[in-house]
Amino acid sequence: MKRIYLFCDNGMSTSMMAQRMQEVADKHNLPFECKAFSYKKISSIIEENKLDCILIGPQTKFLYDDINRRYGDKTPVMVIDAADYGMMDAEKVLKKAIVAMKKFKNN
């Protein structure tokens, strides 16, 4: 099971995106776990779980450099595209996360 976790200020706005991403993954029988959390819990979440991709909500993109510096050597870190997020295009966000994981694995 691959873990794709989304982080934003309180984990509230990304919860809907994570839920929709999980629905897309389930529909296509993809072995993914998509969940959302507050970025304030990222350290404890990562200590407890091996993440395969970290997605940052566009409203907290200012956190990218710090999160990538801390965890980017272990897992891909990316900011969710604001247009995809605004449209709640979970399938597109999931596809981009999968591409990021494949690229990371090949490096």
Catalytic residue IDs: 8
On the CB side of 88, how many CA atoms lie within 13 Å of its CA?
10
Q: Which of 60, 59, 66 is nearest to 43 (CA)?
A: 66
| 3 state DSSP class of 6 | strand
For 71-107, the DSSP string reads HTTTS-EEEPPHHHHHTT-HHHHHHHHHHHHHHHHH-
